[in-house]
Amino acid sequence: MMSEVWAYNSQVYNSEEDLNAAVVSLKSRLDNNPTDWVIVKEATSDGNGGWVVSPTPLTDEEILSLDTTKSYNVSSVPSGETNIGLDGASAQNKVWELRRLYANWVRANTVFKEYAPTETDMSGYV
């Protein structure tokens, strides 16, 4: 009998039930845990055209409710790209844009179904 496994988000699952639970879990993280893909810090003008950036990253809850009257630095976790001095609305838009890039990076919409060879054990080669 051929052994089936599913690969999703860099993990391997031995049942469709476990796979589907992983998909639901990732969706929840994408909806509620922006610190998975961004680092957001408050920034204030230094009065000379530069920025003073808080050393403390915002929490998930704070990122999900950015203050439109404040400025922020938004950095991508996977790529390190940093956007400096964004107003609250622009920062929120950048968070969602980077979420889309992160979801593509982890292939959130892709499942691989893998089959192991049935007659010859190749596991020692991989």
Any idea what DSSP says for residue 73?
E
**pLDDT per residue as tens digits for the range 75-110:** 999 998 999 999 999 999 999 999 999 999 999 999
Q: What is the pLDDT of residue 4?
A: 83
Please compute the mean of the pLDDT values over residues 49-64 and round it to a whole number.
Answer: 97
Contact 72, 51 (CB under 8 A): no
Is the predicted pLDDT of residue 124 greater than 90, yes or no? no
Residue 42 has pLDDT above 60, yes or no: yes
| Position 2 pLDDT exceeds 60 | no
Whole-number pLDDT of residue 17: 95
Backbone φ, ψ for residue 111 (5° rounding): -120, 135
Whole-angstrom CA distances from 55 to 39, 40, 88 are 11, 10, 18
DSSP letters spanning 3-54: -EEEEETTEEESSHHHHHHHHHHHHHHHHH-GGGTEEEEEEEE-SSS-EEE-
Q: Cα(first)–Cα(last) distance of the chain, in Å?
A: 21
pTM, full prediction: 0.84
Query: What integer pLDDT is reported at residue 84 of this predicted model?
Result: 95
Percent of the chain surpassing pLDDT 90: 83
Output the average pLDDT for the chain.
92
pLDDT mean over 9-18: 92
Per-residue confidence band for 117, with pLDDT thresholds at 50, 70 and 90: low
Q: Compute, in degrees rounded to 10, the torsion defined by CA atoms 77, 80, 85, 90.
A: -50
